[in-house]
Structure 1
């Protein structure tokens, strides 16, 4: 027994000092980039590659870029018939400036441009308050954005009433078409997706089978097929002589396609809600509509905000496929401009694609950042 006691400590160790920490920039660099010789070599090589890439990008986009001009000679080298040196390699922003109106609204009559500009202003004016959580009267704001604005926009853009000249949708194009298709698709696909998700989880066999069939059928084919069906097959289901505008067909196809994917996103949120939430709502005597509206759906939608925004971003980019049915969105107009002999140069296509890519990135990045903001704003489950 005495030998065992010899292994017991008779005095306590002194408290060890807290681990050292360096929260400065140099400390962060040492911990994350230069912690060892291997990390230092990789970090230096990566840094050199990034610097080399950025120098070339800035040189192409800004330093050697041509900003003004009236035709291709402004962006052509001496060998190509222009005045620039043969070693020149920069973007041709003069071409983008010449085509800018076309990129925005397509072939919309130039003397009526105040109409799409007015719609754009109304869209920003009604969307901005809805995106700011502290602005009151969200219900009224939603009605103005989702119901009143589409009606007013259709009257302004189409015309034919109140003395406005009629403008066919075949003259629409560019970013205007991209935004309209995306906005209508988002506004329609979310409620339809919620209904389909609830129907797929329904205990009524007929409703469940119909929703499952619709979702799996639409998700099983590419968007190109859906657009072709909306453009070619939809008129066959109507009475002879009835014609549906091609733009409306594209809206129907995009909305149906997005709704099928949205239904699965919402269903994932519904399945993530604990069973106790359903039982608690039932114990309070709530009806099915009250239970879903006030208890289940708010929690489910909050859980799947990243999936919802991801679907919106994918739909925004997929609108470029409408060029297959002879509708020209932003990317379609950019590609069509490559055949303009007035601006035919080797750098014209690259400049146009960079411009279109930047516009798509700007909207998609904005949606992703707002999604992250809403996640932080609604993340109250563990706060006291």
Structure 2
């Protein structure tokens, strides 16, 4: 059945987000409709409003959410009404070479569902009946969302919605970069550049992995305080030093792993330069398509350094989302502390402003 829902919509690049009443159609084959309980406000959503991530407007925002299944479409057997689920903006066909080799985040068919559902259509309509695109096959910054089953992961219903939601992006991206992409070993020396929601999770991933040193690098003292609360052993305020990479090297002698969580070529260079011999720099942040990074090529063979990327923490969502929530339930990951402030959907524009001002570890829209 069709449902009316308040949703956060980008109508035009460069303009503030709008809260509108839209229509969410019921599920078709292999789809489910979810009543959203909570949705994180992520920098990637903001990037979609500026064109940095060039999704076409009009666009229903949101890709990091948790909710309850309220309707299932034809052929759905893995979900039933009442199941708690977390959204995944990674579409996985399950059949291509990358999927079958265990790398679903690199699915060769995922780009077919960047701003629609996998079949190329949407279930979201505006007030005038026009199609509304959806962020990452999700569009979950809304009271309801209809999604393909491959973009949903069933989770433990005992986990609060506002915590479970964050696993869909911030937590998976940061922790996964440490666990899956870098495979950080106990005793490692690490550095994290950019202490937003993803950077904080990279820090606590390093803590859980047993890193000996964890250096947080940012230009916001409030964020560096958060970093210490999440387990950073040292901090560098990059606005107070001439060269961030040199400052990190002076503290550590060169790190084994550096994580760039900003999405800027110049910061990638800093992360790479602070590596010790044999070190690995992991680029986590999403940069402008025109951005470039320059490194000294000789250091790759001579020092056996590695520069690599991490997309959603190299996740296998069906496996990793429940695993991360299990670590939270065991007291090994902080999720409650990540939620700095909650917002009503009508206050979504303020939530975006607060994110850009660096006020929150993570702001979360909570639905009644």
Larger of the two Rg values belongs to structure: 1
Q: Shorter-chain-normalised TM-score: which range?
A: under 0.3
TM-score normalised by L of structure 1: 0.21
Structure in which a larger fraction of residues adopt strand: 2
Structure in which a larger fraction of residues adopt helix: 1
TM-score normalised by L of structure 2: 0.22
